[in-house]
Amino acid sequence: MKAFNDLADFSNEEISALLELADRLDSQPEPEALRGKVLSLLFLSPSLRTLASFQAAMTRLGGGSFVISPDMSIHGLETRPGIVMDGAAAEHIREAVPVIASYGDAIGIRAFAERKNLETDLAETEFSALIDLIHTPYINMESAMNHPCQNLADWKTLDDLGVPANGGKFVLSWAYHPKALPLAVPSSTLHMAAKRGMDVTVLRPEGFALPDVLMQKASEAAAKSGGSIQESDNRKEAMEDAHIIYAKSWSSTKYYGDKLGDQKAREELIDWCVDDPWFDNAQDDCRFMHCLPVRRGVVVSEPVLDGPRSVVIHEARNRMLAQMAILHQMLGGTS
């Protein structure tokens, strides 16, 4: 495996194999599998779960990692091409990224969307520019439109819970949040659920529809796997018979890059907080999923988040297991 960048690059069979490997590594540790192997971890955007779970994953497999992050005094890596570097930044990513990559057997990179221009972000312009600089295997630790490690972990969570792949109803719901957040999780989660063969409803208020090209990609995945895609702005209808509600806030696509427009659109929607009444006509055992971090009392009510429907900690632990499987396949363990 040379890259783990997008779940779309893998067949459902390959995904099943990865998840079987994840389960096996959980029950039968392999602390020698990657001994002496190094994972470079480059965070151009902040992280908690990804930071912790990748380090833990490498240690459990007998290897190690190092972290370069925006917390460090190496401030302001320059990213603009063709610039005369007479300002604050002392180093350009054109050197920093290949150097960091050269110390590892693989590299994980996180770089959030700029959220100025939707076309640029949909094209993964920034992440592609980083990947073009390296020759080692790499893992997408969240880019403008993708978060494949989260997707793989969530797929595993759905399997763990016994949620049917075909015939299971997956509601991907927008939720209120004071800030305009990236599209990576909703976009790639939509695709994941569709690819798994589920009946997916994207529940979102007006102005927050996901980009056509991503809806299209998900539809194609659904068609192949026997799933379906719908959109709705009606919470009651959307939640009917749902097995899963996957909540996430995201930027307005109508006002993408327009901070004020987005703010005005979202401040009308403060009641899009997932609480008990949302589950009135869902399946009895409908579960609440979220990638974390989540704002209590804003995105989701405390009773739902702390109650038996919530599987958010299970999802987060699956990040580590999914990543162990990816690293095991990528860095030379045999599956």
Question: How far apart are CB 12 and its own copies at their closest, in Å?
Answer: 27
- 96 lines the binding site for its own copies (CB under 8 A): yes
- 109 lines the binding site for its own copies (CB under 8 A): no
* Bridge partners (DSSP) listed for residue 66: 40
Q: Which is nearer to its own copies, 62 or 257 (CB)?
A: 62
Report the distance separating Cα 250 and Cα 252, nearest Å.
7
Q: How many helices (H) and strands (E) does the chain have?
A: 12, 10
Q: Which is nearer to its own copies, 54 or 169 (CB)?
A: 54
- 69 lines the binding site for its own copies (CB under 8 A): yes
Question: How far apart are CB 228 and its own copies at their closest, in Å?
Answer: 32
Report the distance separating Cα 250 and Cα 10, nearest Å.
26
Cβ atoms of 166 and 226 closer than 8 Å: yes
- 267 lines the binding site for its own copies (CB under 8 A): no
Question: How far apart are CB 195 and its own copies at their closest, in Å?
Answer: 26
- 52 lines the binding site for its own copies (CB under 8 A): yes
- 48 lines the binding site for its own copies (CB under 8 A): yes
Element (H, E) at 138: strand 138-140
Question: How far apart are CB 104 and its own copies at their closest, in Å?
Answer: 7
Report the distance separating Cα 329 and Cα 1, nearest Å.
6
User: What letter represents residue 211's amino acid?
Assistant: P
Q: Total number of residues binding its own copies (CB under 8 A)? A: 68
Rounded to the nearest 10 degrees, how much is the dihedral formed by the CA atoms of 223, 311, 107, 142?
60
Stretch that binds its own copies, among 90-98, 143-151, 157-165, 223-231 (CB under 8 A): 90-98
Question: How far apart are CB 76 and its own copies at their closest, in Å?
Answer: 11
Question: How far apart are CB 300 and its own copies at their closest, in Å?
Answer: 10
Stretch that binds its own copies, among 34-42, 201-209, 241-249, 275-283 (CB under 8 A): 34-42
- 71 lines the binding site for its own copies (CB under 8 A): yes
- 20 lines the binding site for its own copies (CB under 8 A): no
Structure tokens belonging to residue 208: 């927050």
Cβ atoms of 242 and 282 closer than 8 Å: yes
* The binder of its own copies chosen from 3, 17, 26, 70 (CB under 8 A): 70
Report the distance separating Cα 67 and Cα 69, nearest Å.
6
- 94 lines the binding site for its own copies (CB under 8 A): yes
- 316 lines the binding site for its own copies (CB under 8 A): yes
Q: How many CA atoms lie within 13 A of 9 on its CB side?
A: 12
* Bridge partners (DSSP) listed for residue 106: 39
Residue (of 59, 143, 100) closest to 323 by Cα position: 59
The CA–CA distances, whole Å, from 104 to 40, 60, 191 equal: 5, 17, 30
Chain positions contacting its own copies, by CB under 8 A: 29-32, 35-38, 40, 46-49, 51-53, 55-56, 58-66, 68-74, 78, 82-86, 90-92, 94-96, 98-100, 102-104, 178, 292-298, 302, 305-306, 312-313, 316-317, 320
